[in-house]
C-alpha cells in the first residue's frame, strides 16, 4: 500500500481578490508533494466548509487580505465543527494584525502565517503537524 | 537612417570599450565581482556597462524626439512639470462616507490636489452592506457606498467643479459614476464641468485583481457604454483607467505589466470603434492609464517612457488616430504595495520615496505614494501625511522637476527603454495571435504568465538571490511597533441601518420601474448610463443595479488557476 498523501485545500474566503499569496502557496504545496485543491477567489465560508468535506482534505489554508478575517476564519471552523469535520485543521494567512492572533487561535485557527513567512517554514509546519486523516 | 551617433563616435566607443574590457579581465582575478549575475527585480539581466553601441540603432527623430511631440517618449507636455506639476492624488477611503469625507478635507487642506476613492469590498463587488456576502467587510478596505445618500455625504463640501476625483471602481462603475453625475447635478454643477476618472477596466480584473462580476464580453460592453456616454455628455471625464498596477502587484514582471496593460487598451479601443461606431479621435483623448512604480529604479523609469512611445505608435499606426491628444498616454502611478514589508515598517518610507522618484523621472501625470503602514492596515493620518510630504519634497525641494526627462540620452536608460518596448511588443503580438485579450484570458494565458513570474520571484527570495531588507536579509528580531488604524465593528451595523432607512423612505415603485428599464437597455444594447442615473436618483442601490447585470449577463467564476 502506498502512503497516503496529505490533502490540502487553499481557499480565499470573502470578497477579497488578493490571491498572489494563495496561488504561490498552492503551487508550493504541490511542489512539496501534497495534493492541492485551490478554490479560487470569492468563496463563502459555507462553500469552503462544504468543499473541504466533500474533497476529504486534511488541512484548509485560508487567505484573506481585506480585514474580514475576524469574521470569516472563525466561521469556517465553526461550520466544519457543526458538520462533524472538526478533525480538518484550519490555518490562516494574509494581512492579520498581531492583536488579532489570539482571537483567531481561540476560535480554533491552528497557525497563522503573515507576509514574509518563508515557504519552507510553512511546508515544515505542515509536515510536522498534519497527518492524512484516517477514513473509517 | 538618422543615427543617434556618428560612425566616428561608434568607432571610438568600440575601441575604448574594448580597452576597458581588457582592463576588467586583467583585474578580474584579484577583484572578482560580488555576484555572477546582475538583474532587475523583474529578472532582466543588466550588463556591467552601457555604451553608445547599445543604442547604435536608435534614430533620434524617430525614437526620442522632443517633449510634447511624437513619439512622446519625453512626455506629452511641451513644458513637462515646469508647466504643470504632477497631481498629488492619495488613494483614500475607509469606514462610512462621513469618515472618508473628513479624511478628504484633511488631505485637501494639507495641499493634496486631487481626490481618489477607495471603496470597501462589498461596493467593489456590487453588493450592498446588508448582503450576507458583505459580512465582516463593511468599511474595512475603503468606504461603504450603497445609495446616492451615502455618495452625497461623501462629496459634502467638496467643490465638484474644481476638484477632480478618481474612483477605483470596476464592475459597478456605471452605478458609481451615475451617483457622481447625480451628485454633481444636485450640487448645481453641470456634467460638462466635472472632471475625474473611473477605473472601469475589467480586463485586468480577470487577469489580476479578481474583482469581477459578469463574464468578459458583457463587461467590456458596459465599459464601451461609459466611453460613449462620456464622449457625448461628460467631456472632461476619463471613463477608463487602463491599469497595470494590479497586474504588477499580482506578481508580473515590468514587461508583462506594460504589455498586458497596453494590449487591454487595444481591446477597449477596438470594442468602442466596433460597437459604438465612434471615430478613434472622438474618444481616445480621454483614455487614461495607471502604472505601478516598483522598487527597481531604472526599470520603472524605462517602462513608463516606453509606455508613452508604444501607445503613440499603436494609436497612429494601428488605429490611424490623427488628433495628437489621441496619441498621448496619460497615466497615474502608485508606488508598489507589494514592495513594502510588514517587518521594520519604517523602511517603507524610504522605498516609497525611491519609487516615487522613479515615477516622476518616468513622467507620471499623477501620483499616489503608499503610507508606511499600508502593509498592515488602512493608513493612519500621520502615515498618510508622511507619504504626501514625500511627494511635496520631491516636487519642491529636490529639483528633479526642473528639467524635462532628465535621463534621456543615457546609454543604459535608452537601451533599457528599447528592451521594454521590444518585450512588450512580442507579448502584444502573441496575444494578437491568440485572438485578442478576451480570448487570451479565456485560455488563461496572461494569468499563468503572471503566476509563473510571481512564483519565480518568490523562489528567488527564498534562495536569497533577490533581497527584501527585513524579510530575507538584515532581519531584526525586535519588532518595530507602529500604531495601526482600526475600523470600528459598529460601522457595519450603522451602515446597514442607514441603508434600511433609505429603502423605507424611497418610492419603491419608481425604483422597480427604473430597474426594469435598465434591464431592457441591457438586453437591447441601449447605453445603460442614462438608466443608471435615473435609478440612483430614485435611490436604487449599487447591488440592485448590479443584480440586473448579473441576471442579464450571468456571473463570472474564478477558474482558480495557479
Quick one: closest CA in B to A18, which residue?
Answer: B209
Among B136, B471, B559, select the one facing A72 at the smallest CB separation.
B136
Question: Nearest CA to B228 among B260, B188, B257, B200?
Answer: B200
Predicted confidence band of residue A135 (pLDDT cuts 50, 70, 90) = low
pLDDT at B498 over 80: yes
Average pLDDT in the B323-339 region? Answer: 97
What are the domain boundaries of chain B?
62-89+146-462, 490-553
Residue A102 lies in a domain: yes
Average pLDDT in the B237-251 region? Answer: 97
Residue A24 lies in a domain: yes
CA distance A131 to chain B (A): 24
Contact A20 B487 (CB under 8 A): no
Which of A17, A48, A73, A104 to mutate to test binding with chain B, by most B CBs within 10 Å of its CB?
Answer: A17
Quick one: closest CA in B to A73, which residue?
Answer: B136
Q: Lowest mean pLDDT: which of B294-308, B453-467, B480-494, B499-513?
A: B480-494
* Homologous superfamily of B62-89+146-462: Methylmalonyl-CoA mutase (3.20.20.240)
Give B120-148 pLDDT, tens digit per residue. Answer: 999 999 999 999 999 989 998 899 999 99
Contacts of A69 in chain B (CB under 8 A): 136
| Residue B59: per-residue pLDDT | 93
- Domain boundaries, position A28: 7-129
CA distance B247 to B379: 22
Cβ count within 10 A of residue B481: 8
CA distance B115 to B545: 25
| Residue B1: per-residue pLDDT | 54
Contacts of B249 in chain A (CB under 8 A): 18, 20
Total tally of structural domains belonging to chain A: 1
| Residue A3: per-residue pLDDT | 75
Average pLDDT in the B528-541 region? Answer: 98
Average pLDDT in the B91-113 region? Answer: 90
CA distance B455 to chain A (A): 6
Contact B137 A15 (CB under 8 A): yes
> Does residue B28 sit in helix, strand or coil?
helix
Average pLDDT in the A74-101 region? Answer: 95
CA distance B87 to B184: 22
Give B371-418 pLDDT, tens digit per residue. Answer: 999 888 888 889 999 999 999 999 999 999 999 999 999 999 999 999
Give A34-43 pLDDT, tens digit per residue. Answer: 999 999 999 9
CA distance A3 to chain B (A): 26
Give A11-64 pLDDT, tens digit per residue. Answer: 999 999 999 999 999 999 999 999 999 999 999 999 999 999 999 999 999 999
CA distance B513 to chain A (A): 30
B552 φ/ψ sector (left φ>0, alpha ψ -120 to 50, else beta): alpha
CB B558 within 8 A of CB B207: no
Among A26, A68, A119, select the one facing B140 at the smallest CB separation.
A68
Average pLDDT of the residues of chain B: 95
Quick one: closest CA in B to A37, which residue?
Answer: B560
Cis preceding linkage at B135, omega within 30? no
CB B67 within 8 A of CB B77: yes
Contacts of A115 in chain B (CB under 8 A): 341-342, 375
pLDDT at B100 over 70: yes
Average pLDDT in the B448-458 region? Answer: 97
Which of A8, A9, A13, A15 to mutate to test binding with chain B, by most B CBs within 10 Å of its CB?
Answer: A15
Average pLDDT in the B143-167 region? Answer: 96
Residue A113 lies in a domain: yes
Q: Which DSSP string do the residues of B70-123 spell out, in sequence order? A: TT-TT-SSTTHHHHSPPEEEEEE--BSHHHHHHHHHHHHHTT--EEEEPBPHHH
Full strand arrangement of the beta sheet holding A59-64:
A35-38, A7-11, A59-64, A89-94, A112-113
Predicted confidence band of residue B30 (pLDDT cuts 50, 70, 90) = low
pLDDT at B484 over 90: no
Contact B127 A20 (CB under 8 A): no
Contacts of B211 in chain A (CB under 8 A): 17
Predicted confidence band of residue A134 (pLDDT cuts 50, 70, 90) = confident
| Residue A131: per-residue pLDDT | 92
| Residue B534: per-residue pLDDT | 98
Among B141, B249, B558, select the one facing A41 at the smallest CB separation.
B558
Cβ count within 10 A of residue B413: 20
Alpha-helical runs (H) found in chain A: 20-31, 45-54, 69-82, 101-106, 119-129
Give B305-329 pLDDT, tens digit per residue. Answer: 999 999 999 999 999 999 999 999 9
CA distance A136 to chain B (A): 31
- DSSP single-letter state for residue B141: S
Residue B433, CA distances (Å) to A47, B100, B199, B315 in order = 38, 45, 27, 19
Among A20, A69, A114, select the one facing B250 at the smallest CB separation.
A20
Contact B484 A24 (CB under 8 A): no
| Residue B381: per-residue pLDDT | 87
Quick one: closest CA in B to A42, which residue?
Answer: B558
CATH code for position A20: 3.40.50.280
Amino acid at each position: 500500500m502506498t502512503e497516503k498523501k496529505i490533502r490540502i485545500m487553499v481557499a480565499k474566503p470573502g470578497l477579497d481578490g488578493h490571491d498572489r499569496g494563495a496561488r504561490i502557496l498552492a503551487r508550493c504545496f504541490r511542489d512539496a508533494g501534497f495534493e492541492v485543491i485551490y478554490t479560487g477567489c470569492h468563496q463563502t465560508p459555507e462553500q469552503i466548509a462544504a468543499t473541504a468535506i466533500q474533497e476529504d482534505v486534511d488541512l484548509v489554508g485560508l487567505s484573506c487580505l481585506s480585514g474580514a478575517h475576524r469574521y470569516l476564519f472563525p466561521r469556517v471552523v465553526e461550520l466544519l465543527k457543526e458538520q462533524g469535520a472538526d478533525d480538518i485543521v484550519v490555518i490562516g494567512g494574509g494581512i492579520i494584525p498581531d492583536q488579532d492572533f489570539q482571537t483567531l487561535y481561540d476560535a480554533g485557527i491552528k497557525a497563522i502565517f503573515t507576509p514574509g513567512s518563508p515557504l519552507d517554514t510553512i511546508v515544515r509546519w505542515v509536515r510536522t503537524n498534519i497527518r492524512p486523516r484516517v477514513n473509517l | 537612417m538618422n543615427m543617434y551617433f556618428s560612425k566616428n563616435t561608434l568607432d571610438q566607443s568600440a575601441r575604448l570599450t574594448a580597452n576597458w574590457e581588457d582592463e576588467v579581465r586583467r583585474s578580474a582575478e584579484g577583484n572578482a565581482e560580488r555576484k555572477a549575475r546582475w538583474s532587475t527585480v523583474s529578472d532582466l539581466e543588466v550588463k556591467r556597462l552601457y555604451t553608445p553601441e547599445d543604442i547604435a540603432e536608435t534614430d533620434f527623430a524617430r525614437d526620442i524626439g522632443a517633449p510634447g511631440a511624437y513619439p512622446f517618449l519625453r512626455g506629452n507636455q511641451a513644458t513637462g512639470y515646469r508647466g504643470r506639476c504632477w497631481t498629488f492624488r492619495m488613494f483614500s477611503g475607509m469606514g462610512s462616507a462621513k469618515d472618508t469625507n473628513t479624511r478628504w478635507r484633511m488631505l485637501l487642506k494639507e495641499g493634496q490636489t486631487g481626490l481618489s476613492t477607495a471603496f470597501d469590498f462589498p461596493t467593489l463587488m456590487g453588493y450592498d452592506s446588508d448582503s450576507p456576502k458583505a459580512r465582516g467587510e463593511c468599511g474595512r478596505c475603503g468606504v461603504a457606498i450603497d445609495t446616492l445618500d451615502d455618495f452625497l455625504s461623501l462629496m459634502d463640501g467638496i467643490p465638484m467643479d474644481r476638484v477632480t476625483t478618481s474612483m477605483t471602481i470596476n464592475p459597478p462603475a456605471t452605478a458609481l459614476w451615475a451617483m457622481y453625475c447625480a451628485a454633481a447635478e444636485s450640487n448645481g454643477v453641470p456634467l460638462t464641468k466635472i472632471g475625474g476618472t473611473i477605473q472601469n477596466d475589467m480586463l485586468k480584473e480577470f487577469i489580476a485583481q479578481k474583482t469581477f462580476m459578469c463574464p468578459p464580453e458583457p463587461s467590456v460592453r458596459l465599459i464601451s457604454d461609459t466611453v460613449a456616454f462620456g464622449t457625448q455628455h461628460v467631456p472632461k471625464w476619463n471613463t477608463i483607467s487602463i491599469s497595470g498596477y494590479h497586474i504588477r502587484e499580482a506578481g508580473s514582471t515590468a514587461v508583462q505589466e506594460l504589455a498586458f496593460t497596453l494590449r487591454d487598451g487595444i481591446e477597449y479601443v477596438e470594442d468602442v470603434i466596433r460597437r459604438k461606431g465612434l471615430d478613434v479621435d472622438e474618444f481616445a483623448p480621454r483614455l487614461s492609464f495607471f502604472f505601478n512604480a516598483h522598487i527597481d529604479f531604472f526599470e520603472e523609469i524605462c517602462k513608463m517612457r516606453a509606455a508613452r512611445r508604444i501607445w503613440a505608435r499603436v494609436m497612429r499606426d494601428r488605429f490611424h488616430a490623427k488628433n495628437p491628444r489621441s496619441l498621448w498616454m496619460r497615466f497615474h502611478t502608485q508606488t508598489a504595495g507589494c514592495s513594502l514589508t510588514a517587518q521594520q515598517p519604517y523602511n517603507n518610507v524610504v522605498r516609497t520615496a525611491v519609487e516615487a522618484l522613479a515615477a516622476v523621472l518616468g513622467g507620471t501625470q499623477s501620483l499616489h505614494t503608499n503610507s508606511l503602514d499600508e502593509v498592515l492596515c488602512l493608513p493612519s493620518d500621520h502615515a498618510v501625511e508622511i507619504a504626501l510630504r514625500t511627494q511635496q519634497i520631491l516636487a519642491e525641494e529636490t529639483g528633479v522637476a526642473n528639467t524635462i526627462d532628465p535621463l534621456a540620452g543615457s546609454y543604459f536608460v535608452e537601451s533599457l527603454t528599447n528592451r521594454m518596448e521590444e518585450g512588450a511588443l512580442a507579448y502584444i503580438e502573441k496575444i494578437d495571435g491568440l485572438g485578442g485579450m478576451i480570448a487570451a484570458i479565456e485560455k488563461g494565458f496572461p494569468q499563468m504568465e503572471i503566476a509563473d513570474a510571481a512564483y519565480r520571484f518568490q523562489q528567488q527570495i527564498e534562495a536569497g538571490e533577490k533581497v527584501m531588507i527585513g524579510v530575507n536579509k538584515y532581519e531584526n528580531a525586535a519588532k518595530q511597533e507602529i500604531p495601526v488604524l482600526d475600523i470600528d465593528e459598529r460601522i457595519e451595523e450603522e451602515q446597514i441601518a442607514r441603508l434600511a432607512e433609505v429603502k423605507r423612505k424611497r418610492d419603491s415603485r419608481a425604483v422597480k420601474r427604473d430597474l426594469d428599464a435598465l434591464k431592457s437597455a441591457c438586453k437591447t444594447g441601449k447605453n445603460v448610463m442614462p438608466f443608471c442615473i435615473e435609478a440612483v436618483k430614485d435611490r436604487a442601490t449599487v447591488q440592485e443595479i448590479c443584480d440586473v447585470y448579473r441576471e442579464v449577463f450571468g456571473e463570472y467564476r474564478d477558474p482558480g488557476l495557479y
